[in-house]
Amino acid sequence: MKIFHNDQHASHSARQEIYRGKLVPAFETPARQDAIEASLRQHAMGEFTAAPVCDDALIGQVHDAAYLKFLEGAWDKWLALDSTNAELEAFPAVWPIRTLRTDIVPDNFCAQLGLYSMDSGSPLTAGTWRAARRGADCAAAAAQALIDGADVAVALSRPPGHHAGADFFGGYCFINHAAVAAQNLLNLGKKHVAILDVDYHHGNGTQAIFYERSDVTFISVHGDPRTEYPFYLGHADELGSGAGLGFNLNLPLKHGTGVDGWFDALAKACDAVTQSGCEALVVSLGLDTYADDPVSSSAGFAGFGLRAAEFARMGRALAALNIPTVLVFEGGYASDALGENFVEVLRGWA
């Protein structure tokens, strides 16, 4: 099994974030991927491989050019406002909500930051672009590995990506790595690709990127957006639009849904993957369904209650589809358990 790891992921290292109205220590830190890499190496779960640099044009197929240009130069613009900003993370504070215009890009950097973001909880740091761009290389390389004959390939592409839309960042995500992997599979000859998102939070960015397309089926099992982030997308009546009608399936679950309910939904999702007739599968592998995850927790309940044994069961269910698969690392914020949980997914697969 080839594991493409983002050797620049630690460049994106936030110290704090805004969470539930408070400035708190960041949840999305380099320790997340470090823990997974350490466990995978300890258990000899695969071959760690450096990804070649992918073509910028590939990323441009799933992201808007103006957004990518903004993201690449954002930190320099942040420092240009005030040199002491080097000691801070950049957070948006204003957004072009309903009745406000988005067709004219403001000259003011703070306004640009709001134009290209969806929330105030995703800190932009000095190394954000470098890390996110290198993560895209990992996703593209994992897709290439399937073309070269691999049954499964892993993209440890931190920071995560599934909340990033064509022209905005949010939910700790800046480049949508699952979308990059799917697009590369299509570019390399696959006629139809499915994306299965098992993160606790709906992959709003991935859905939106492919919502009007018929060459990608998007399927997601996640917390009900009426109560869970990202709140404004992920409902069951979102079926796709135009050419993409019928190629989008959301399986939202109420907060407090336990292991049995989650696996019932996963079974439906796996049936939909099979029925899609896809030639390759991309799994947005978020591990914040874990019982003790600090971000997906509220009212004494976290995730959907999964623990190590359930992650192995998940791996077995995905492997049973018998479809060449890219596993893209997404959420999961209990760093002390992430390594074990990720290893269990791959053990179940094996």
DSSP SS3 for 48: strand
CA atoms within 13 A on the CB side of 81: 16
Residue tagged active-site, from 163, 201, 202, 222: 163
Q: Which two tokens stand for residue 263?
A: 């696996």
Start-to-end CA span in the chain (Å): 10
Q: What is the spatial distance between Cα 51 and Cα 41, in angstroms, rounded to a whole number? A: 17
Q: What is the spatial distance between Cα 118 and Cα 280, in angstroms, rounded to a whole number? A: 30
* 201 is known as an active-site residue: no
The answer to whether residues 236 and 272 touch, using CB atoms and an 8 Å cutoff, is no
The answer to whether residues 212 and 243 touch, using CB atoms and an 8 Å cutoff, is yes
What b-and-e string marks burial along 38-70, b requiring 16 or more CB atoms within 10 Å of the CB?
ebbeeeebbeebebeebeeebbeebbeeebbeb
Q: What is the spatial distance between Cα 218 and Cα 97, in angstroms, rounded to a whole number? A: 27
Q: Which two tokens stand for residue 15?
A: 């110290």
List active site positions.
163
